[in-house]
Amino acid sequence: MKPLLLTLGEPGGIGPDCIIRAYKNRPELFDHIIIVTPGLWMEQRATQIDIPTVIFEFSTLNSAIQAKATGLRCWNPVPSHIATGPVVMGKTSQMTAMAVICCIQTAAESCLARHAAGMITGPIEKAVLRSAGFNFPGHTEFLAHLSRQPQAEAETDFVMMLASASLRVALLTTHLAIKHVPETISMQATIDCIRIVQRDLIHRFGIPKPRLALCGLNPHAGEQGHFGREEIEILMPAAESARLDGIDVTDPLPADTAFSATNRHNFDAIICCYHDQALIPIKAISFGESVNVTLGLPFIRTSVDHGTALDLAGSEDVSYSSLVEAIEMAITMAQKASS
Ligand SMILES: NC(=O)c1ccc[n+]([C@@H]2O[C@H](COP(=O)([O-])OP(=O)(O)OC[C@H]3O[C@@H](n4cnc5c(N)ncnc54)[C@H](O)[C@@H]3O)[C@@H](O)[C@H]2O)c1
Ligand SMILES: N[C@H](C(=O)O)[C@H](O)COP(=O)(O)O
């Protein structure tokens, strides 16, 4: 199996804590993992939280892959003209923003070049990266941009999904102001999203016949047009078109009952119109046990379900459970892809 690349995200946040604590408790999980980071970011945090950890830094991916080292293998791709510090635990800094972006981009390019099976990402502080010139609202959109072919025609070619043992949610729209959601949802983008979810549930998750639910945008799924017409004009025709292609997807359901225990059991994924329609239920039910996975990319990408939690950096209260889930999911997907 090719290696999986792990980016730690914001170095002042809990990303380094999660990796060090996960490695201490589940070292075997890291057999196929190379962390894309300056080694110093990991060494500093290991010292600060007093968890002795053997950390090796390599300057090339190949040397990291070849190393027979017992410890955390870090590949530092950051060129010397890009600042890597100082890192202050619990604080973000413009001084590390470009290095954070460099690590994510280099990891993605290695996946695209097929030097790695996929990537797992730690949490970034989005506002800090934005003010450093990063023109994307999150990893998902950045990785989709890096992966996109110039002649690509689909309106939607990637889907954000959060997945746990009890629920999977997929998003028609990702990081944008709520007032822009209605104008962003189109029939073609909805059909593209449904197709991507269907295809990746089969190929990445091994679900032979996915059963999909689609949520309405408006209260009561529009109440037959009385509370909005997006269901009638966009979502129902998109679902009908997908069903003609053999996809098992519902007409738009009222979102307030879409996440009932029965529906969570009966559907393999619930497709939602906007970020919080999807992420509130899954984080309420499974925060710390769910995985953020990007569908539609030419490589595997999983991530933790939490943010940078600056308030907890360096604390014993940091949970690394979502990182473990994200690593396990990436390994399972990579093994499936290579079998
Ligand atoms: N995958 C990502 O890159 C990602 C995901 C979500 C948020 N973010 C970013 O993180 C920053 C902070 O976002 P937020 O405050 O909304 O969410 P957050 O997940 O960082 O924190 C929400 C709450 O959960 C707690 N928490 C989070 N992770 C925890 C963990 N592993 N163990 C124990 N407690 C934990 C925090 O202390 C806080 O009380 C923002 O810049 C946001 O954009 C990044
Ligand atoms: N929307 C995600 C969440 O709230 O957990 C998170 O911001 C991660 O997004 P990216 O993976 O696109 O960075």
| Domains in the chain: ranges and CATH | 1-154+299-339 (3.40.718.10), 159-296 (3.40.718.10)
Q: Is 61 in the pocket of ligand 1 (CB under 6 A)?
A: no
Which residue has a Cα nearest atom 36 of ligand 1?
Answer: 309
pLDDT at 119 over 90: yes
pLDDT given for residue 69 in this prediction = 72
Tokens of 201: 């549930």
Which residue has a Cα nearest atom 9 of ligand 2?
Answer: 138
**Which residues sit opposite 56 in a β-bridge?**
73
Instruction: Give residue-wise pLDDT tens across range 264-292.
Output: 999 999 999 999 999 999 999 999 999 99
For the CA of 319, the closest atom of ligand 1 is 32
Expressed in angstroms and rounded, the spacing between residue 103 Cα and the centre of ligand 2 is 17
Instruction: Give residue-wise pLDDT tens across range 3-41.
Output: 999 999 999 999 999 999 999 999 999 999 999 999 999
Say if residue 301 carries a ligand binding annotation: yes
Residue 224: pLDDT band (50, 70, 90) is very high
Say if residue 306 carries a ligand binding annotation: no
Q: Is the peptide bond before 137 cis (omega within 30 degrees of 0)?
A: no
pLDDT given for residue 294 in this prediction = 98
> What is the layout of strands, in order, in the sheet containing 4-7?
55-58, 72-75, 33-36, 4-7, 118-121, 300-303, 291-295, 159-163, 168-171, 269-272, 211-215, 248-253
Would you call 50 helix, strand, or coil by DSSP? coil
Expressed in angstroms and rounded, the spacing between residue 91 Cα and the centre of ligand 1 is 13
Residue 156: pLDDT band (50, 70, 90) is confident
pLDDT given for residue 314 in this prediction = 98
Which residue has a Cα nearest atom 22 of ligand 1?
Answer: 309
Residue 149: pLDDT band (50, 70, 90) is confident
Longest pairwise C-alpha distance within the chain? 65
pLDDT given for residue 334 in this prediction = 97
Tokens of 204: 């990445």
Q: Is 245 in the pocket of ligand 1 (CB under 6 A)?
A: no
Q: Is 315 in the pocket of ligand 1 (CB under 6 A)?
A: no
Which residue has a Cα nearest atom 44 of ligand 1?
Answer: 307
Ligand nearest to the CA of 158: 2
**In degrees, to the nearest 5, what angle opens at C-alpha 105 toward C-alphas 103 and 24?**
40
Q: Which residue is listed with tokens 């890192």?
A: 87
Expressed in angstroms and rounded, the spacing between residue 100 Cα and the centre of ligand 2 is 16
The preferred substitution site among 172, 174, 292, 304 for testing ligand 2, maximizing ligand atoms within 8 Å of CB, is 292
Say if residue 139 carries a ligand binding annotation: yes
Residue 108: pLDDT band (50, 70, 90) is very high
Residues near 26 by Cβ (< 8 Å), separated by ≥ 6? 324
H or E element that contains 15:
helix 15-25
H or E element that contains 42:
helix 39-48
Dihedral angle over CA of 138, 140, 145, 149, nearest 10: 180
Strand bridging mode 168-171 / 33-36? unpaired
Of 252, 165, 173, whose CA–CA distance to 215 is shortest?
A: 252
Q: What is the CA 79 to chain-centroid distance, rounded?
A: 26
Expressed in angstroms and rounded, the spacing between residue 16 Cα and the centre of ligand 1 is 14
Ligand nearest to the CA of 308: 1
Expressed in angstroms and rounded, the spacing between residue 254 Cα and the centre of ligand 1 is 29
| The 3-state secondary structure of 271-334, one letter per residue | EECCHHHHHHHHHHHHCCCCEEEEECCCCEEEECCCCCCHHHCCCCCCCCHHHHHHHHHHHHHH
Q: Is 318 in the pocket of ligand 1 (CB under 6 A)?
A: yes
Q: How far is CA 202 from CA 4, 161, 217, 269, in A?
A: 21, 14, 26, 12
